[in-house]
A and B are shown apart, each in its own frame.
With several copies, the nearest count.
Chain A
Amino acid sequence: MSVISLDELVARIADGALLGLPSDRRGVAMAATRALLRRRPRGLRLYNMPTGGMQTDLLIGAGAVAEIETSGVSLGEFGAAPRFARAVTSGSVVIRDATCPAIHAQLQAAEKGVPFLPIRGLIGSDVLTHRADWRVIDNPMADAGDPLVLLPAVTPDVALFHVALADRDGNVWVGRERDLVTLAHASRTTLATAEKIIDGSLYDDERLAAGALSNFYVSAVAEAKHGAWPLAQPGLYEDDADAIAAYASAAKSDEGFAGWLAEHVFASRQAAQ
């Protein structure tokens, strides 16, 4: 019941959902992203934890995104994220620029069920200037004159990510990728793809249990071999550099991006997955 198909999984992501996503190479559900695009979603609001990359650029380029909160979007050593830059400069996507620890703290506030968390730094940054939802207060625990920033709790509707292992009860193994734990705790629900679904419980082995995230948080899992491709998956495989470079090049133009989409997303289910 917890393990479903990739198409069933992405059908649970509603148009307009606030979607919590990990950074490139930290468990990005790329196969699920392609499946999601095939159902032509609209109005998604992306919450990058804390940065975005190819997945974000792809979703934006495909016209699926209305808003994005991020600390940065880039293809790393493969260059800028062209669809992202185009959408921001043209105003077709609303951007909420943030900074990495603020992204974490907003999720931690949601995780802890508190309305805000305080954070140091930020004062004097234009990132803060443009955030009406962030507030500078005088530290109530100090005698006087100690300004700091309060960040509101952010609760994604859905966390979506890819992991190495899941069991048939829908528990997933995140290993050292503790950001996925924070993201899942903060979100209303979590959808995960897994490289492999194992028999037995992840909780049977204390070594695996230490890196497990319970089905209490994860509402469904789909198997997706090479589910992060062409991005690296921690501990399993590296970037497919040629494939990412091809994307980076194609995405520089509208035509190139459309061609990439047609070939890698819409052409055929086999090719896409």
Chain B
Amino acid sequence: MSAYRPEELLIAVIARLLAGTRHVAMGVASPIPGSAALLARDQNGGLPRVSILGSPRHTFWSDGGKELFDCAAQGRIDAFFLSGAQIDGQANVNLVGIGDGYPQQKVRFSGSFGSAFLYFMVPRVILFRPDHDRRVLVRKVDFISAPGVSEPGVHRPGGPYALVTGKALFLFDRAKQRFRLESVHPGVSIDDIVANTGFDFDRPAQVPVTPAPDAATLALIRGPIGREIAEAYPQFAADILGIRTAA
């Protein structure tokens, strides 16, 4: 087995989650999802199309920021990524702040961005948060930027599909409204997951280990994918994937 960085494992994990999609989009500051989407594309004969906000080369949008949301509402985006300062067991996402007394909470984050809309519209929303601890993965979020589940009758073609952390992969069961532990990353124990996860989740009797990226995958990541992602994320490409660019 080849040596690989944690980021490379995550890129490979996420790429597998994107199999079968036609169009994957992501917001700003998403180098790992961006690399994963490009990897999925290269491993699946050219699909999905990858749209990276802020990357002229990977953005066909020419009608302003609204075009992303319009596309999502029309079902023209199959997968998207969200993160969260807090994520809870019902897949609620908090991007706003920690503590009571909104808006004067103890800690304030950036804000909800497009989450309150895209989470409803995009069929495969992948929650991505490398930190895996009880600070992030909580029983109940302090502010629901975007809810994981909705009442019957609410128009919701989209929603949570998976949660990828630095320790494990969960899939979300929409019927049960719960996460199910799908695999733990190499070297991580179940006890570690239980100890560091603030919400209850389902798991199989035998939890598989997340497959490590093989040599061919790593070569792709460190070669063409790295050079391509460097346009949008030169720092990431340099520091993590070892890509040096002229700029």
- A: which residues have CB within 8 A of B? 23, 25-26, 49-51, 70-74, 76-77, 80-81, 84-85, 88-91, 95, 97-102, 104-105, 108, 110-114, 119-128, 130, 145-148, 171, 176-179, 181-182, 185, 203, 209-216, 238
Contact = CB atoms under 8 A, between A and B. Distances in A.
Contacts of B104: 88-91
B69 A216 contact: no
A125 B147 contact: yes
Interface in B40-81: 49, 54, 56, 60-67, 69-70, 72-76
A108 to B, nearest CB: 7
B150 interface: yes
Contact of B117 (A88, A95, A99, A209): A99
A210 B63 CA distance: 9
The 8 closest A-B pairs by CB, nearest first: A113-B73, A72-B111, A214-B60, A178-B64, A124-B147, A101-B69, A121-B120, A74-B110
B146 interface: yes
A119 to B, nearest CB: 7
Given A89-B105, A179-B66, A124 B113 contact: no
Contacts of B19: none
Contacts of B95: 72
A184 to B, nearest CB: 10
Interface stretch (B151-159, B178-186, B193-201, B222-230): B151-159
Contacts of A91: 103-104
A153 B143 CA distance: 26
B103 A88 contact: yes
A108 B66 contact: yes
Contacts of A51: 110-111, 113
B217 interface: no
B109 interface: yes
Given A72-B110, A125-B144, A216 B49 contact: yes
- Residue of A112, A124, A171, A213 with most partner-chain B CB within 10 A: A124
A70 B62 contact: no
B62 A176 contact: yes
Contact of B63 (A84, A89, A114, A178): A178
Given A73-B111, A104-B69, A125-B147, A213 B235 contact: no
A121 B117 contact: yes
B86 interface: no
A229 B121 CA distance: 36
Contacts of A100: 65, 69, 113-114, 117
Nearest to B142: A126
A127 B112 contact: yes
Given A72-B95, A88-B103, A125-B145, A101 B114 contact: yes
A147 B112 contact: no
Contacts of A185: 63, 67, 70
Contacts of A209: 62
Given A100-B117, A121-B119, A125-B147, A50 B110 contact: no
Given A72-B112, A114-B73, A179-B66, 20 more contacts: A26-B65, A51-B110, A77-B29, A80-B110, A98-B112, A99-B117, A113-B75, A120-B121, A122-B116, A124-B149, A124-B150, A125-B112, A125-B144, A125-B145, A178-B62, A178-B63, A182-B66, A211-B62, A214-B62, A216-B60
